[in-house]
Homo-oligomer: A and B are copies of this chain.
């Protein structure tokens, strides 16, 4: 790199959005080890299942909004989960233009197998932090979420 910019200006390894993204992707990829091979579920598919396991029923758009996921990615994951019989789709009884999604009985059974493994994995990850850092990460993630929300609304 030379000419018209100094690469030192943006040191990617120190840039918080990049550091968070690398860490998050690495965490998602490693966590996926507990469900990907055994259940044949991809990362976006598990995210959709986890959201539906917590908040159900939801439309595809609400899943995307809640998980801050790309709509096309949610739509692909939803198609595959429907094909695999892990979720069901029906018309919203309150608004028949809307299609709402739920975990199927089989989807609930698989979710119930993955959930405790996911929690054990998280607890293993958090073993890398002492109590002070565990409190700090909780506080900091909340502060950054609030801050980015303010910035998003201001820039909109």
Q: A1 to B135: give the CA distance in the assembly, Å.
A: 31
In the assembled complex, A115 has its CB within 8 A of some CB on chain B:
yes
Q: A119 to B11: give the CA distance in the assembly, Å.
A: 9
Contact B23 A155 (CB under 8 A): no
- Whether A47 touches B23, Cβ cut-off 8 Å, given contacts A11-B54, A115-B9, is no
Contact A140 B133 (CB under 8 A): yes
In the assembled complex, A84 has its CB within 8 A of some CB on chain B:
no
Q: Which residues of A contact B (CB under 8 A)?
A: 1, 3-5, 7, 9-13, 15-31, 33, 47, 50-51, 53-56, 67-69, 103, 105, 108-109, 111-112, 115-116, 118-119, 121-122, 124-129, 133, 136-137, 139-141, 143-152, 155
